[in-house]
Amino acid sequence: MKNTVKLFKSLSDETRLRILFLLLEHGELCICDLMTALEQPQSTVSRHVAYLNNSGWLNDRRGGVWMYYSIRPGLTGLFVELSTLVRSRCAELPECAADQVRLLAYKHEKNCI
C-alpha cells in the first residue's frame, strides 16, 4: 500500500504532472530542456525530477556534465494506467500545450530537431 500512496503523491503536484507529460510525449530530456519548457528555475525542476525519480517513474543517465531523464522502461501495472491518464488529460490543458511549444522552440533553436 505504501508504494501505491507514494505513486499517487508523485502526481499531486502541477509541476510534476507537467514534467511527466513532457517526458511521455518527447522522450529523454535534460534539466535545461525542462527548465525552458516549464519556465522554472533549475532548483525547482531538479527537486521535482528527484521526487519523480524516487517514486519509480524515471530513468536517468549522465551525458558529460548533463543529466538526462526519461520514463523508466518496462513500467507495468498502475504506472502504465496512470501514464495513459496523465498523457490524455494533460494533452487537454493549455499549460501543457504551452510547455510543448516552448520546448520545441528551444530544441529548434539548439538545432536538436
Assess whether pLDDT exceeds 80 at residue 94: yes
The answer regarding whether domain 2-109 maps to CATH 3.60.15.10 reads no
For residue 3, the model assigns a pLDDT of 81
Q: Alpha helix locations (H) across the chain?
A: 2-10, 14-26, 31-38, 42-54, 78-90, 94-109
Q: What is the mean pLDDT of residues 75-82?
A: 91
The structure's pTM equals 0.93
| 61 alpha-carbon distance from chain centroid | 14
Instruction: Using alpha carbons, select from 13, 33, 43 the residue that is nearest to residue 100.
Output: 33
Beta strands in the chain (DSSP E): 29-30, 58-63, 66-71
For residue 112, the model assigns a pLDDT of 65
